[in-house]
């Protein structure tokens, strides 16, 4: 028969089993959580970007769509100006474009066939008058020898002939111009006038489009500055919009710990209002120290140097737990950073 186990013997075995379990749990915890000397804790504040929305054109506010606290999507119409003055201006520029286009078309086509025929008729008429003046001059010149005509009459006939010849040349030049069309310089000037009118129309169309204020990104309205009926100047703030993304954390790292972090390092971010852990990465480390003493003379003073860094939160637009100015705690596994440096060196 086997010896009977005493209560003391049982207690000893229970203690041994508990010790083994505790050792195993401690080993698993060390594998899950990095040692304290590899964990860098920093403290900072949430920094959410804000946009001051304003019209590019002055006018009277006709509509304000959102109130404070409303969420908006990118491209949503947030406010409208009274657009009637801008529609009138666009209509005026449209008319100017039509006038310039019609003038350019006239220059490119040249004169109408009827106008060319009229110029040809003027040439024929001038030529007939010139031939008649030539015959009269010859007749008067032939009568001068017999005394039937005076020198004054001959001179007058000669002047009439020369004048008729000049009229013929002028009519022929006008016909040539009518057949050739307008000069290239005139057409170029017409094209330039059309370009100016088109540019004015584009400006008027842009001004009309600017009477509608749209959201540049997803966000939350944090201030509604104007109301319908208000007169606003261009660049006067109408809404203040807090953007959903990107969400940054502004923190500072001391000079002794500066070598333990690097841009691109993944971090964990926690706040005091929930147990949620946000993932992010260091996106920027300032190359310049802040809170620097006027003169650095000792090693102790050098440790007071701090450097600003910016942490980008991943997928922050899907969560509203981080708000502007909220204090947060940042945890950096510097052991991973050190391993990265060793591979890169």
Taking only the tens place, the pLDDT of each residue in 132-143 is: 888 888 887 877
Among 189, 199, 209, CA closest to 93: 199
Is 198 inside a domain boundary?
Answer: yes
Q: Sign of the CA dihedral 311, 317, 318, 320? A: positive
Same structural domain for residues 105 and 179? yes
Q: Is residue 60 a part of any domain in this protein? A: yes
- Write the DSSP string, 169-236: HHHHHHHHHHHH-S-HHHHHHHHHHHHHHHHHHHHHHHHHHTTEEE-SSSEEEEEE---TT-EE-TT-
* pLDDT score recorded for residue 284: 85
Q: Is residue 34 part of a domain?
A: no
Q: Angle at CA 315, nearest 5°, toward 252 and 338? A: 45
What is the model's pLDDT at position 52? 95
The pLDDT of residue 31: 53
Which residues 6+ apart lie within 8 Å of 180 measured at CB? Answer: 110
pTM, whole model, 2 decimals?
Answer: 0.62
Residue 32, domain member (yes or no):
no
The predicted pLDDT at position 294 comes to 54
Instruction: Assess whether 159 and 230 both reside in one domain.
Output: no
Per-residue pLDDT at 91 = 97
Number of domains in the chain: 3
Closest by CA to 309, choosing from 266, 248, 239, is 248
Nearest to 85 by CA among 211, 270, 175: 211
Q: Which own/partner pairs from 148-151 qualify as long-range (CB within 8 Å, at least 24 positions apart)? A: none
Indicate whether 107 and 134 sit together in one domain.
yes
Residue 218's pLDDT is 92
Domain containing residue 43: 39-48+245-295+303-333
Residues 191 and 148 in one domain: yes
* Tens-digit pLDDT profile for residues 166-225: 988 888 888 777 766 677 888 899 999 999 999 999 999 999 999 999 999 999 999 999
Whether residue 76 is found in the same domain as residue 218: yes
**Co-location of 265 and 228 in the same domain:** no
Smallest CA-to-CA distance from 55 within 73, 29, 90, 80 is with: 80
Is there a single domain that holds both residue 228 and residue 265? Answer: no
Say if residue 149 is preceded by a cis peptide, omega within 30 of 0.
no
Q: Domain boundary residue among 203, 233, 264? A: 203
In 3D space, the residue among 70, 63, 81, 68 whose CA is nearest the CA of residue 225 turns out to be 68
Nearest-angstrom CA–CA distance, 323 and 326 = 6
CATH number for the domain spanning 57: value is 2.40.50.100
* Whether 152 and 102 share a structural domain: yes
* pLDDT < 70 stretches in the chain: 1-11, 13, 15, 17, 24-37, 111, 179-181, 291-304, 316-320, 335-345
3-class secondary structure, 152: helix
161/194 same-domain check = yes
Q: At 311, which CATH number?
A: 2.40.30.170
Residues 168 and 196 in one domain: yes
């Amino acid at each position: 028969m086997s010896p009977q186990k005493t209560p003391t013997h049982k207690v000893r075995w229970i203690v041994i089993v508990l010790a083994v379990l505790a050792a195993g749990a401690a080993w698993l915890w060390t594998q899950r959580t990095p040692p304290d000397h590899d964990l860098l804790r920093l403290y900072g504040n949430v920094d959410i970007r804000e946009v001051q929305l304003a019209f590019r054109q002055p006018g009277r506010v006709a509509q304000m769509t959102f109130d404070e606290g409303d969420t908006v999507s990118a491209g949503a119409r947030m406010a409208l100006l009274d657009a009637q003055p801008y529609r009138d201006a666009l209509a005026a520029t449209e008319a100017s474009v039509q006038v310039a286009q019609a003038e350019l078309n006239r220059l490119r086509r040249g004169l109408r066939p009827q106008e060319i025929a009229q110029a040809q008729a003027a040439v024929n008429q001038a030529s007939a008058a010139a031939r008649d003046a030539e015959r009269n001059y010859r007749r008067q010149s032939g009568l001068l020898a017999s005394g039937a005509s005076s020198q004054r009459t001959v001179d007058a006939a000669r002047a009439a002939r020369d004048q008729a010849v000049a009229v013929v040349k002028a009519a022929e030049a006008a016909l040539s111009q009518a057949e050739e069309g307008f000069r290239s310089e005139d057409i170029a000037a017409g094209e330039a006038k059309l370009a100016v009118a088109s540019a004015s129309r584009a400006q008027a169309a842009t001004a009309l489009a600017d009477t509608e204020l749209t959201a540049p990104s997803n966000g939350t309205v944090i201030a509604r500055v104007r109301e319908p009926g208000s007169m606003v100047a261009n660049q006067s703030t109408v809404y203040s919009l807090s953007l959903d993304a990107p969400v940054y954390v502004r923190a500072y790292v001391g000079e002794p710990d500066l070598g333990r972090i690097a841009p691109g390092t993944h971090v964990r971010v926690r706040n005091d209002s929930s147990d949620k852990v946000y993932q992010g990465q260091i996106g920027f480390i300032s190359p310049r120290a802040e809170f620097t003493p006027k003169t650095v003379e000792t090693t102790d003073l050098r440790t007071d140097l701090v450097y600003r860094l910016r942490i980008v939160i991943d997928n922050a637009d899907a969560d509203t737990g981080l708000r502007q100015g909220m204090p947060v705690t940042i945890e950096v596994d510097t052991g991973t950073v050190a391993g990265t440096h060793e591979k890169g060196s």
